[in-house]
Amino acid sequence: MVADDQVMVRAGFRMLLAGETDIEVVAEAGTGAEAVAQARRHRPDVVLMDIRMPVLDGLAATQQILAENSAARVLILTTFDLDEYVYEALRVGASGFVLKDDPVEQLLAAIRAVAAGDALLSPAVTQRVISAFARRSHRPAPPELAELTARELEVLRLICRGLSNAEIGAELWISETTVKTHVTHILTKLRLRDRVQAVVLAYEADLF
């Protein structure tokens, strides 16, 4: 299915895909709302979705379509490669991202890839996602963390869920005094002042 607000663009895609024997355009839509309705009726395998569309934008439409038919695969089409679009699109569940000025083979490869259950991003987009991903994954865990005992890590985990010492004690079936001992040891080993800093460190190091 092709969803784009410009008739010419839709016609272009239809022509383009008509040459492929394994691809059939079963529906078109000019607005996000229409896309949702058409997807409900025709249940397409793959939706080519423009982001900029009237009534309901491509992202909201994507979210809606996937909510109704989780087997559908949505390929986002856009002229721009703005970051927010990329992240937001992946967040709502799009399977891929193709720029309108990518070569045609790229588009066809993407359609076939997502139809097969894979995913495909335009190289330029991949670059962005990778660097964002690498940035997020790259959290040098402070070596002091290794010094914590199993019990201390357990206490730290509960601290990071916002529990008080008394609540942690109840959770672990030990006295609040013991919890305080563990907390003291945790703070000493990690060279921190209070539990707040412990929570910050844990999140920064991507624990839990």
Q: Footprint of a copy of itself on this chain (CB under 8 A)?
A: 87, 90-91, 93, 95-96, 113, 116-121, 123-124, 126-127, 129-130, 132-134, 136-138, 159-162, 164, 192-197, 199-200, 203
Please give the span between the terminal C-alpha atoms of the chain, in angstroms, as a whole number: 41
Using the minimum distance from each CB to a copy of itself, give the nearer residue, 2 or 121: 121
Residue numbers at the binding site for DNA (CB under 7 A): 149-152, 164-166, 169, 172, 174-175, 177-178, 180-184, 187-188, 193-196
Q: Which is nearer to a copy of itself, 21 or 137 (CB)?
A: 137
CB of 116 to a copy of itself, least distance (A): 8
- If the CB atoms of residues 79 and 197 are measured against a copy of itself, the closer one turns out to be 197
Q: Which residue has the tokens 């793959």?
A: 46
Q: Which residues share a beta bridge with 74?
A: 47
Pick one of a copy of itself, DNA, none as the site partner of residue 132 (Cβ within 5 to 8 A by kind).
Answer: a copy of itself
Those residues whose C-beta lies under 8 Å from the C-beta of residue 178, and which sit 6 or more positions away, are 169
Q: Which is nearer to a copy of itself, 29 or 111 (CB)?
A: 111
User: Nearest distance from residue 206's CB to DNA, in Å?
Assistant: 21
Residue 151 interacts with, from DNA, a copy of itself, none (CB under 5-8 Å by kind): DNA
Residue 45 vs 154, nearer CB to DNA: 154
Per-residue burial over 40-75, b if 16 or more Cβ lie within 10 Å, else e, is: eeeebbbbbbbbebeebbbbbbbbbbbeeeeebbbb
The partner in contact with residue 177, picked from a copy of itself, DNA, none with C-beta cut-offs of 5 to 8 angstroms by kind, is: DNA
CB of 189 vs a copy of itself, minimal distance in Å: 16
